[in-house]
Amino acid sequence: MAASHIKVTPTGASLGAFVTGVDLSKPLTDEEVAAIRKAWLDHLVLAFPDQPMSHEDLERFTQYFGPFGDDPFIAPIEGHPHIIEVKRAATEKASVFAAAWHSDWSFQDTPPAGTILHSKITPPVGGDTLFCNGYAAYEALSDEMKAKIEGLKAVHSAALAYAPDGVYGKGDGSDRSMTIKASEDALNTKSHPIVRVHPETGRKALFINPGYVKTVEGLSDEDAFFLLVELYGVTHDERFVYRHKWQDDMLLMWDNRCTQHMATGGYDGHARLMHRTTVAGP
């Protein structure tokens, strides 16, 4: 039986859809999982409103889409080694976590295919998450640019964020409520093709992001900088961006292989709490 009770409603932006007609606090059928996976590949970001979920529900849902990914630098919650908390206290002065465009853990040898975020406490203002569509950005490039970047590899590293002198290192706000473990491991680099062929859809996407890409193999730092800035200008153009507004008990899943995302602030004085899992790549 097809999972015809599942309703998928596109956001109207370049990416993203809302999914209703399914209860994520219960085990899903194979047909339901297949329908959600198809919608995920079609829309890149899926939002499931009104889904109160326990830790076990979140873990079970995540594993329908693959094994858990490996989450470095951030301590998991007690008793649940694959769930991390993305949180900010109402009084917190530390910078908003993840408030720069990135694709999760893109510096890993095999970056996570997906990330799942479940909202527990959402602020009444601000705290939106932005997403952009790496397929649409690639397709919008000129033929000259497509030829120029074909075969080039970007050098990814976690250093800017997680090295001892990175954003979340020694100089970080002392009142940060997340437990982030900056380390020398963040200095490692890994190169990935700028033009990534998505392993499930076969479509080409731009796979770069300013959070983790340092430079481009074979180019001077200056040439790499100008090339990346030009590509980011397209990728982050509002034509290709979806601004996600949260409600409590909303589950969001995104495809890291063909999107970038970033947190936004604007909610000082209010708490925000999310639980997060990752799905291993590719």
Which of 32, 57, 104, 255 touches ligand OGA (CB under 6 A)?
104
Q: Show the site string, 72-101: x = touches ligand OGA by CB under 6 A, - = not.
A: --------------x-----------x---
For position 104 contacting Mn ion by CB under 5 A, the verdict is yes
For position 115 contacting ligand OGA by CB under 6 A, the verdict is yes
Nearest to 45 by CA among 36, 54, 53: 36
Measuring CA to CA, how many Å separate 19 from each of 251, 277, 281? 10, 19, 23
For position 257 contacting ligand OGA by CB under 6 A, the verdict is no
User: How many residues belong to the site for ligand OGA (CB under 6 A)?
Assistant: 10
**Bridging pattern class, strands 84-88 and 272-279:** antiparallel
Which of 57, 213, 276, 277 touches ligand OGA (CB under 6 A)?
276
Q: Which stretch binds Mn ion (CB under 5 A): 98-106, 146-154, 163-171, 197-205?
A: 98-106
Look at the chain and count its residues. 282
> Residue type for 237, please?
D
Sheet holding 241-244, edge to edge: 241-244, 129-133, 259-263
Contact between residue 207 and residue 102 where contact means Cβ atoms under 8 Å apart: no
Which of 117, 149, 227, 258 touches ligand OGA (CB under 6 A)?
117
Interface residues for ligand OGA in 122-141 (CB under 6 A)? 129
- Decide which of Mn ion, ligand OGA, none touches 159; Cβ closer than 5 to 8 Å per partner kind: none
| Cα-based angle 273, 279, 282 (whole degrees, multiple of 5) | 140
What CA–CA distance (Å, rounded) separates 155 from 8? 36
Q: Considering the complex, state which of residue 57 and residue 104 has its C-beta at the smaller distance from Mn ion.
A: 104
- Decide which of Mn ion, ligand OGA, none touches 182; Cβ closer than 5 to 8 Å per partner kind: none
**CB 128 → ligand OGA: shortest distance, Å?**
7
Which of 53, 206, 263, 279 touches ligand OGA (CB under 6 A)?
263
Nearest to 57 by CA among 94, 97, 25, 103: 25
- Decide which of Mn ion, ligand OGA, none touches 117; Cβ closer than 5 to 8 Å per partner kind: ligand OGA
**CB 246 → ligand OGA: shortest distance, Å?**
8
**Bridging pattern class, strands 129-133 and 259-263:** antiparallel
What CA–CA distance (Å, rounded) separates 169 from 116? 25
Sign (positive/negative) of CA torsion 204, 43, 260, 81?
negative
Interface residues for ligand OGA in 186-215 (CB under 6 A)? none
Q: Considering the complex, state which of residue 32 and residue 104 has its C-beta at the smaller distance from Mn ion.
A: 104
User: How many residues belong to the site for Mn ion (CB under 5 A)?
Assistant: 2
Write 141-144 long-range contacts (CB < 8 A, 24+): 141/231, 141/234
Q: Considering the complex, state which of residue 88 and residue 204 has its C-beta at the smaller distance from ligand OGA.
A: 88
Residues that bind Mn ion (CB under 5 A): 98, 104
Under the rule (CB under 6 A), what is the footprint of ligand OGA? 86, 98, 104, 115, 117, 129, 261, 263, 274, 276
